């Protein structure tokens, strides 16, 4: 196994290691300014664009029911859970904003890998990630304003532009590069999981290191909020898909897409638009750590179900 493949295959271990280093030896990351988060996320999104083809979006036209169910689950379940947790748990304003940001973001890129490991419907997973990402510039700012606008002024236009610049533009550039430079893309693609892993773990390290003291003082409550948010998202996403008659592979894909958020985007938006609340970036960083761990467990469960029930 090459170094690139090893790094991509052990993202959970690497994320945990980086988290521990950043938390107990913050100087290892504090020399990197938080402004570096945005371009790092752009690199991840560019890589996602390189892997996309027009055929990936065919499921949207061929089976719109699954896409509609998945997107409704994505943008209703997770934002509602975030709002509910902020009401039920004693979270500071900054942490509450961070939880809501995570809940209102689209599905994360790691969800496609987890779906593959779970033997889920990969085409549906990729299509859901793509569609939710394209909807994000409008839907995410609107949801954040709806759920948190009463407590703080939300710059909807600024968030829209940020998501376009950090997410949509890099994806379009990657998509275009893949279309016009296929030979070069074929050489780069095997390295993309490694670069994505390194970029995501760097983002986590930067956020945790810059807020290490605050995190250690409130780690329990943040951990509870993040774990409940993610686990309930997985369960409710799966349940909704089952209730609407989706087959096993689609249920797995929808559950994973709903439960695994683009927490990197949440940390970028927090650092850019909520700098007055430094802790707003923390839930996204912790979510990145946790959902890779829980996603791996969910993949094992769904994979076992696939072997037990090959047909529905």
User: What's the pLDDT tens digit per position in 120-133?
Assistant: 887 788 788 888 88
d(CA 155, CA 276): 13
Strand partners, 288: none
Give residue 242's pLDDT band: very low, low, confident or very high (50, 70, 90).
very high
The pTM of the full predicted model, rounded to 2 decimals, is 0.81
| Other Cβ atoms within 10 Å of 196 Cβ, number | 23
Which DSSP symbol is given to 82?
A: H
- What does the DSSP assignment read for 27-64? HHHHTS-GGGHHHHHHHHHHHHHHH--GGGGHHHHH-H
Strand, coil or helix: 261: strand
On the question of pLDDT at 175 being above 50, the answer is: yes
Strand, coil or helix: 265: helix
Residues in the chain: 312
> What is residue 312's predicted lDDT score, i.e. its pLDDT?
47
Phi-psi bin for 119: left (phi > 0), alpha (psi -120 to 50), beta? left
Give the closest residue to 268 by CA, choosing from 196, 195, 166, 146: 166
d(CA 280, CA 254): 27
| Pair 128, 310: CB distance under 8 Å | no
Q: Give the phi and the psi of residue 275 in degrees, each rounded to 5.
A: -65, -25
b/e map 236-271, b = 16+ CB within 10 Å: bbbebbeebebebbbbbbbbbbbbbbbbbbbbbbbb
| Domains recognised in the chain with CATH numbers | 3-10+37-306 (1.20.1530.20)
User: What's the pLDDT tens digit per position in 132-173?
Assistant: 888 989 999 999 999 987 667 777 888 888 888 888 888 889
Lookup result for tokens 């290691």: 17
| Pair 222, 283: CB distance under 8 Å | yes
| Other Cβ atoms within 10 Å of 161 Cβ, number | 13
> What is residue 309's predicted lDDT score, i.e. its pLDDT?
52
On the question of pLDDT at 285 being above 90, the answer is: no
User: What's the pLDDT tens digit per position in 40-86?
Assistant: 878 878 887 887 777 766 766 777 888 888 899 999 999 999 999 99
Output the six-digit token pair for 241: 């898909």
- Sign for the pseudo-dihedral over CA of 237, 267, 79, 45: negative
Q: Give the phi and the psi of residue 307 in degrees, each rounded to 5.
A: -75, -30
> What is residue 57's predicted lDDT score, i.e. its pLDDT?
67
On the question of pLDDT at 206 being above 80, the answer is: yes
């Amino acid at each position: 196994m090459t170094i690139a493949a090893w790094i991509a295959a052990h993202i959970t271990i690497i994320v945990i290691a980086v988290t521990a280093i950043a938390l107990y030896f913050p100087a290892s990351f504090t020399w990197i300014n938080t402004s570096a988060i945005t371009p790092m996320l752009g690199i991840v999104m560019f890589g996602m664009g390189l892997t996309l083809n027009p055929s990936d979006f065919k499921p949207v036209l061929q089976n719109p029911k699954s896409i509609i169910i998945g997107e409704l689950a994505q943008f209703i379940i997770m934002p509602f859970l975030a709002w509910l947790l902020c009401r039920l748990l004693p979270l500071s304003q900054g942490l509450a904003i961070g939880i809501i940001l995570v809940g209102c973001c689209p599905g994360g890129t790691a969800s496609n890998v987890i779906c593959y490991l779970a033997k889920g419907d990969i085409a549906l997973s990729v299509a859901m990630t793509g569609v939710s990402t394209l909807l994000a510039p409008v839907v995410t700012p609107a949801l954040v304003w709806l759920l948190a606008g009463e407590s703080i002024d939300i710059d909807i236009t600024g968030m829209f532009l940020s998501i376009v610049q950090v997410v949509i533009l890099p994806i379009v550039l990657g998509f275009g590069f893949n279309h016009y430079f296929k030979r070069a893309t074929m050489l780069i693609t095997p390295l993309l999981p490694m670069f994505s892993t390194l970029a995501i773990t760097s983002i986590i390290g930067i956020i945790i290191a810059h807020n290490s003291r605050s995190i250690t003082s409130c780690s329990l409550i943040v951990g509870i909020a993040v774990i409940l948010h993610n686990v309930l998202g997985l369960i409710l996403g799966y349940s909704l898909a089952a209730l609407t008659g989706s087959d096993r592979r689609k249920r797995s894909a929808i559950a994973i897409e709903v439960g695994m958020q683009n927490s990197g985007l949440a940390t970028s938006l927090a650092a850019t638009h909520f700098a007055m609340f430094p802790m707003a970036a923390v839930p996204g960083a912790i979510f990145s750590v946790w959902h890779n761990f829980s996603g791996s467990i969910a993949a094992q469960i769904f994979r076992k179900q696939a072997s037990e029930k090959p047909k529905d």
